[in-house]
Structure 1
Amino acid sequence: MADQTPEHSPSLRPISRIRLPNDLAERLKQLIQLDYAPGDRLPSIAALARDFGVGAPTVREALKRLEMAGAVSIRHGSGVYVGRRSDALLMSNPVLTGLPSKQQLLDLIEARAAIEVLGAERAATAATDAQLDQMQVLLAHAEANLGNDEVLNQTNMAFHRSIAVASGNTVLAQLLEVLTSLFTHEQRAILDIQNSRAEDHRQHVEICEALRARDASMAGRLMAAHLDKVRTDLQRWDPAVHPLPVVARPA
């Protein structure tokens, strides 16, 4: 198939405002399903940015998400090619405004627990040494930034995602990627509510040690205990007494 996308494609309507990269990833996925076959080369990043009305960094981030899901293959120096998994699990960011509710945060942790306990158990036996080393790098970065909430939150979420990826279960990894990508604002709110950054970090270190020991049962128990503590802290939180600070949502 030709490298150029038909102008009539409904997936190529310019995005009216800059959105999160997973919005664009969903649009690109639709475009691929409509107009491309596995192995076809996509237009350049500059062309996609122009056609969708977004910046090149947004396109690159969206393509990275698609690559993680197996929908595209990024070949440096050559281009971006359609992969074989056109059914990649992607979601557009929900329309959320204002501060997150207590119930929404509890629901988020419940959903994460369903994914992450099993992910930790699997990662204990499936993780490569390189993946475990990368987890240590993330933990060191988190420890160095316990006083920087923005960096700490991003690093903590990267640590959790790295465990899901190390599980070897691509659906678990995609599900957690979706959750942490869609609910970054909510995860940041949880950090403010807990206000236990050092303790949270200590639990992450213990989880990583269990993974290094290849102890699946312990890794699962520690992950469950970690998320249970988050849930307990949320249940004790009274928004009327300790309201959340107003933090702008990502554009």
Structure 2
Amino acid sequence: MKFKRFFSIAALIVVSTMSQAELKSLEASNINSYSSNIYPNLNLNDLDQIKIEINQTATPNSPLATVEINKVEFEFPNANNLTATNLTKVNGTPNTYRTVVTSPWVFKKVLVELSGAEDFDGINFSYKVFVMDSTSNINNIEQTQGLELLSGNAELINVTAKKVVDIANGRYLGKELILRLLHNTNLEGIRVEATWFGHGTKILTLPSPFDARLYPVALILDRTPGNSRIKARFDNGTETSDESLHALLEQAFGPLPQ
């Protein structure tokens, strides 16, 4: 089995000392939603979609990224959509964000609250929308209260446009195989898009401890016959552990002949 290598990166690898920012687009799946129906003519049932735009910034001093939620959109089939921007992290909470916005419905203002894991990517999150009352302290986002209008939970899927940083071409089990190393990582590890003719396209995951300061830059293949191995190199020169290519393909595409 032969692989022809194409690199899209410079040969010189340097350690970054600058902050790295990444804009992510997320969409909800498996949405569970509850509406209090406090206003009879406002139908917020059957929430169609939730879209979130976040800015994830990594610094040299921390393996975890700082998350800013730029915008969240709630799409309803029977009511005006709700858009909230510039959510602020609530002090004293692990990952709860709030903002007060002008209501698209009959109320003046609503409070939007999101809670989730560190990077709001590929995990469960919860949401709440409150109607602001006249006694609410709008200027203090942490103490602002209101009547709950909508709440629920969902999972988030990263739908950010894929950025390919390295490509490897070859054949495996008699079929052409194209491996594309993706720039965006997640908590599970490094993502490699595999297009295998006759089988389709799937995502392979190279296990790796999550560190938002590092980005993958190269695929490295060991082409030993019968035991091909694959790993990725980061922008600081470190590498993931090597994994069996056969095992990764089998995890993604299903049982394969040995």
- Structure 1 and Structure 2 fold alike (TM over 0.5): no
Between Structure 1 and Structure 2, the one with more helix by share is 1
TM-score scaled by structure 2?
0.22
Asked which structure has the greater RCO (Cα within 8 Å, sep 6+), the reply is 1
Structure 1 length normalisation: TM-score? Answer: 0.23
Considering fraction of residues, name the structure with more strand.
Answer: 2
